[in-house]
Every structure is written in structure tokens, then in C-alpha cells.
Amino acid sequence: MKIRVYYEDTDSGGIVYHSNYLNFCERARSEIFFKENIDIFNAQLGSFVLTKANCEFLYSAKLGDLVEVTTRIVQLKNVSVILEQEITRENKKLFRAQFTLAFVKNAKPIKMPQEIKDLFEKLLI
């Protein structure tokens, strides 16, 4: 997924503020479901919560840059998934992270629906 860096994403020096890399990754994860018309934001179904993030800030993105977020599934279980996401600019890695997400309903882990698991299986490394 390509994202343009806007003024609102940067600090006073035009450098992307560190937390916005996480926002960019969240947008890319959401797009996976939007593209497949899966309503992941349906409270009756359940939802994902972030349980772990391991981030590496390698280089800075700047105001006006066009960056690309790629997402790969590292590990898929019945209740959780580990994703690897990278943000690049012209094939140069700027940011890399592994995120662990758990599927929950009413604040308790539950087995994720099969259609979501099937979607993730397509993205396995």
C-alpha cells in the first residue's frame, strides 16, 4: 500500500514523527480486510488487539515522500497472528516491525473466523 507523507505526519523539521510509522502499518493492515470486503470492525464478530510490537526505525521518511507498506504473515495460529511489516521509499527500507495480534471478543481470546484465517493464509511467507 502506498502512502504519501503529509505535513500532519511530520514534526517541525519535516521528518515523519515516530508514532506515524505505526499508523501507516495499521492503515495497511486495515486495507487487507477492506479489499476483501471483510467487516473486521464488527463487534459481534470479534476484533484484533495488538499484544506485541517490535519496531526498528532505520531511516527517516520526510514530508512529500511516497512510501510503501508491505505486509507478510510470519505465523498464523487459531487465535493469533504475527505480521511483519516494512515501510520503504524507492526500495530503501525505512522501518520494519513485527506485530503480534490476538483475536478477541468481550476481552477474551477466541478462535478467529475461518474467512479471516483463509485470508491470512494467502499472505503467509
Q: Summarize pLDDT for 57-73 with one digit per residue, the tens.
A: 999 999 999 999 999 99
Please give the Cα distance from 97 to 85 (Å, whole number).
5
Exactly one of 11, 39, 65, 118 is catalytic; name it: 11
pLDDT in tens, 10-45: 999 999 999 999 999 999 999 998 998 888 777 678
First to last CA, the chain: 17
**Phi then psi for 11, rounded to 5 degrees?**
-90, -170
- Look up the pTM and report it: 0.91
Q: Determine whether 65 is an active site residue.
A: no
